[in-house]
Amino acid sequence: MYIDIVPNRSSPPAILLREAYREDGKVKKRTLANLSSLSIEQAQGMRRVLRGEKLVGVDDLFEAIHSSHHGHVQAVHAALRRLGIAELI
C-alpha cells in the first residue's frame, strides 16, 4: 500500500490510498480509498507511517536546557573596569 498524490489541473491534488499488484506479468494498481479530504501534510505523514518510519513527538526529540544568567556578572565587570579596579585584580 502507498499514498499516491495525483495532480489535478485546476483542482487540489487527489490523495489516494493505493495497492500495487501483478497480473499476467504486468504491474497494476488498485485504489483502496480516496483521501482527498486530508491536507498534504497529513498525506505525507501517512506515507511515512506506511513506509514503517517511527513517528515521535517534538518533546521526545528535543531536550529543554537552561542557561545561567550572566548579565549581572557582566555589569559588575563593567563597573570594575570603569573604576579601574579590574587592573588591580
Residue 30: pLDDT over 80: yes
How many structural domains are present in the chain? Answer: 1
The better pLDDT of the pair 81, 21 is held by 21
pLDDT in tens, 33-81: 999 999 999 999 999 999 998 888 777 788 877 777 778 888 888 888 8
Residue with cell 494498481: 29
| Strand ranges (E), 1-89 | 2-6, 14-23, 26-34
- 11: domain range? 1-55
Is residue 35 in some structural domain? yes
Q: What is the reported pLDDT for 32? A: 96
Distance CA 27, CA 31 (A): 14
Is residue 32 in some structural domain? yes
Q: What is the reported pLDDT for 63? A: 80
Is residue 25 in some structural domain? yes
Whole-model pTM over 0.85? no
Is residue 24 in some structural domain? yes
CA-to-CA separations, 75 to 47, 69, 71, 80, 82, in angstroms, rounded: 54, 12, 6, 9, 11
Is residue 67 in some structural domain? no
